[in-house]
Chains A and B, each alone.
Chain A
Amino acid sequence: ETGVTQSPTHLIKTRGQQVTLRCSSQSGHNTVSWYQQALGQGPQFIFQYYREEENGRGNFPPRFSGLQFPNYSSELNVNALELDDSALYLCASSSEGARNTEAFFGQGTRLTVV
């Protein structure tokens, strides 16, 4: 098991609602990345946070936003939920500047939008 924890593990929301997902990074890691994994597909990069600022973003609309806190934990917020937002959301922690180290993933949050 990694030291990355995500909450909640499962969530059901209605289309149009807003959702917040949370992630605690592994001790010693200062960077958090978020990925969306739709059913039957590989994870897709949403964005990354380093020193409480967004440090790279994938091809996701602005209604996907995030925060990183001084303790390096992070939140992913999604506004105006759509049915296609149903997916497993994965958080990964790593050390910025250490490209030769691997990212460690949490167990994910399964979001279902109905």
Chain B
Amino acid sequence: AQSVAQPEDQVNVAEGNPLTVKCTYSVSGNPYLFWYVQYPNRGLQFLLKYITGDNLVKGSYGFEAEFNKSQTSFHLKKPSALVSDSALYFCAVRSAGNMLTFGGGTRLMVKP
């Protein structure tokens, strides 16, 4: 069975500083990995994905993620955080059946 772990319930960062939201996964076969963001009372918005190729993936709103096969990790990063980045972030892995398995989520708080 596949699984995703987001070890931090909350990440606090000052505006302008770099941010990292951690994600590790367990899956048989090649992983298809995704990051989604959720704002209050909203659905999930797609940020970026790793399917194959370059281990550094660039996505929306200046976010990027680094795939590390040996550490089974897919950490989300941004060089300079904005207050508007404050939201709930979910890492997910896709199975052969197109089903997404999500982590528990990490709340990002960016303070001015």
Contact = CB atoms under 8 A, between A and B. Distances in A.
Interface of A: 2, 4, 6, 31, 33, 35, 40-45, 48, 55-56, 58, 90, 92, 94, 96, 99-100, 102-108, 110
A90 B34 contact: no
Given A100-B32, A100-B51, A105-B36, A45 B100 contact: yes
Nearest to B48: A102
Nearest to A103: B100
Interface string B72-103: 00000000000000000010001011111111
Contact of A90 (B44, B51, B94): B44
Leading 8 A-B pairs by shortest Cβ distance: A42-B102, A105-B43, A105-B44, A56-B97, A100-B51, A107-B43, A102-B46, A108-B43
B98 to A, nearest CB: 6
Contacts of B17: none
B49 interface: yes
Interface of B: 4, 32, 34, 36, 41-46, 49, 51-52, 90, 94, 96-105
Contacts of B97: 48, 55-56
B103 A42 contact: yes
A107 B52 CA distance: 29
9 contacts: A33-B98, A41-B104, A42-B4, A44-B102, A56-B99, A96-B98, A99-B51, A105-B43, A110-B41
Contacts of B43: 2, 4, 6, 90, 105-108
A42 B32 contact: no
A105 B43 CA distance: 6
Contacts of A56: 97-99
A56 to B, nearest CB: 4
Best-surrounded residue of A41, A42, A94, A110 (most CB of chain B within 10 A): A42
A100 B96 CA distance: 11
Nearest to A107: B43
